[in-house]
Every structure is written in structure tokens, then in C-alpha cells.
Amino acid sequence: MAEIAPIRPFDEAAALDWLRSQPGGRTNMPAAELGRRWGWHRQRASRRLKAWQKAGLVTRRGNIVMVAHGAPVTAPKPVTPLVTRPVRVTRARPVPVTHLAGIDIAAYVAAVVLAGCAAFFSIKGMVVLFPGAPVAVVAMAVAMECAKLVTAGWLASRWRTTARVLRLVLVMFVFGLAVINAVGVYAQLVSAHVGERGERESYVTSQTADLDARIEVANHAVADLDTRVSQIDAAIAEATRRGRTNAALATMEGQRRTRAGFVDERNREAGTLAALKAERASVTAKGRQAEVEAAPIRYVTELLGGGEDNERAIRWLIALMVVCCDPLAIALTAAVAGSRA
């Protein structure tokens, strides 16, 4: 269907002259049709009609727009002739905004901060996943994070003028980069949650096993020394019971130094055993301290109805952080760029 459209958009003076040229200086065309005749957006035509009405240049009654009597007549300007062509009407390019509002600046800052935090965790996570080439991984991750935000902002500001296939391709690439960022952030957060606790539990386990083995050896040594001293005491008591006092005295004199050595060694082993038991108690206390530090996780899990699975709440929390952080930065960047466009 052939539509009438100007070769280039009218300016305001040419649009007013066009209204004056209509029969009786009036028209009942809606704002969308007027914008199509003038090469404007429908929103622009509606805004300019409201502004002219407020300035007293035109009057509006329903859909009827009429040039007001006494409105200043603009200097004659060459009006682009109308042509008829069977093509789809193209929209005029939007007028670029040359200033940023305070809320736009705040939105950009928030998006950059969120994207920076997500990028930091993502890059560390990527280094954990690919430890063979950390420098190359960091460079590639930084480039992907920057390209993701720039692509989102560019696509939002030029959404109407971009081909549909290109829009789909760019959206898919941005989505892919967001997924890569989410994987890196998830890996880093899991490493931060499990790493320190795993090292502490491993240390407690190894120390407890070592101390248990040493305590067992010390117990055997003390028991053996106690047995030897008991044997000496039993021999002396038996000699005394049989009435052989001289033999008992001779036995006591012969075994005195031996018994004293056994007693000293037994005391040393008993001291070592006590020190090992104290060290094991200290290690056990560290293990209990780790359990106390994990108490908030257990309480959150019980609050969410997770039962005894304490890790479920942490997994949900990490997933929520991944879903909200970087996608919010992308959406905020796109929203500000799109609103300014």
C-alpha cells in the first residue's frame, strides 16, 4: 500500500506551515498519522502538539488540530515536496541526549561496581578452573567482561536500528558471556566456602591421628615401666615375707639404682603422655570451634526447611548471588542506555 512520506523529516516551522496549508488550517489526523506525514516519531509528534497548544500556536478539540488565530507566521521556508512511493516508512533518528541525569550516573556507577565485583570473583574462579595459564585466563576474562557490558549498552541504545538477526546474535553472545561469568563466580564462591573449612578439618584429622598414635605408644611405655617397678617391689616383698631379711636387703641394694631409673623414666613418659593428651584436647577444641563457626549455616538451613543438609542453604545462597549480581549489572546498563536512546 502506497504511503505518503517526506524525503527528509520536517522541522517545526515546516510542520506548522503544513498545518496552515490544510483546508481551514485544521486537520483531524491523529498524532501517529501526523508524525508519519512529517517524518517524525509518533511520540515526538504528540509532544510537539502539546507544546504548541501550551504556547497558543494550535488548539485541539478531540482529534481536530487547528492553527490558532493570531499565531505568528513563520518566514516562508522551502517545504520538501511530498512524494508517493510504495515503501515502508522509516523512522527518524532519535535526537541524542547530551547530558546525563544524576540517577543515570548513579545507575552507571552501580552497574560498574556490580560488574567489577562479579568480574573479580569470576576471574579468580576461572584461574582456579584453568590453573595452567593464569595470565592468559585473566586477560581473556577481563576482555570478555568489558565486551559484555559494552555490547549490552550498545545494543540497548540502538535496538530499533539494528537488524533482527544481529540483535539475536548479540543477545546470545551476551547471554553466553553471562553464563561464563556465573560459572567462574560460582567456582570461586564454592572454593571460598569449602577451602578454609576443608583445610581446617584436614589439619584437625591429621593432628588427632598423630597424637592418638603417640599417646598409645606413651601408654605402652608407662605400663611397661610400671610392670618392671612392680616386679622389683614384688621380689623384695617376697624375700621379706620369707624371713630372709639379709637377702631382701641385698636384693633392694642391687635393684635400687635400677628401680630409680625405671621410676625416673616412667615419670618422663607420664609427663609426655599428659602433654600429648593436652595437645589432643587443644586440637579437638579447634575442631569444635569450626563446628561453632558453621552454626549460622545450620540455623539458616533449618530456617529454610533444609533439614540436616547444611550445605543446601549455602548452595542456594551462592546461586542467588550468581543470578543477581552480574545479570543485574547487564540489565541496569541496558536500561540506562535504552532510556537515553
Q: What is the pLDDT of residues 108-160, one digit of tens each?
A: 788 888 888 888 888 888 888 888 888 888 898 888 888 888 888 888 888 88
- Residue type, position 47, single letter: R
Domains of the chain: which residue ranges? 3-85, 102-341
Distances, alpha carbon 309 to alpha carbons 175, 298, 306, in Å: 32, 8, 6
Please tell me the predicted confidence (pLDDT) of residue 226: 77
Please tell me the predicted confidence (pLDDT) of residue 2: 41
Region 60-85: mean pLDDT is 58
Against a cut of 0.75, is the pTM above it? no
Distance CA 217, CA 225 (A): 12
Please tell me the predicted confidence (pLDDT) of residue 1: 37
Please tell me the predicted confidence (pLDDT) of residue 327: 82
Q: Band of the pLDDT at 191, cuts 50, 70, 90?
A: confident
Mean pLDDT estimate for the chain: 75
More confident: 160 or 92: 160
Q: What percentage of residues in the chain have a pLDDT greater than 90?
A: 0
Residue 267 has pLDDT above 70, yes or no: yes
Asked if 171 contacts 155 with a C-beta cutoff of 8 angstroms, the reply is: yes
Stretch among 11-20, 48-57, 158-167, 322-331 having the lowest mean pLDDT: 322-331
Residue 72 has pLDDT above 60, yes or no: no
Please tell me the predicted confidence (pLDDT) of residue 44: 87
Q: Domain 3-85 class?
A: mainly alpha
Map grid coordinates 502538539 to a residue.
49
Give residue-wise pLDDT tens across range 193-218: 776 666 666 667 777 777 777 787 77
Q: Is 88 exposed, middle or buried (0-12, 13-18, 19+ CB in 10 A)?
A: exposed
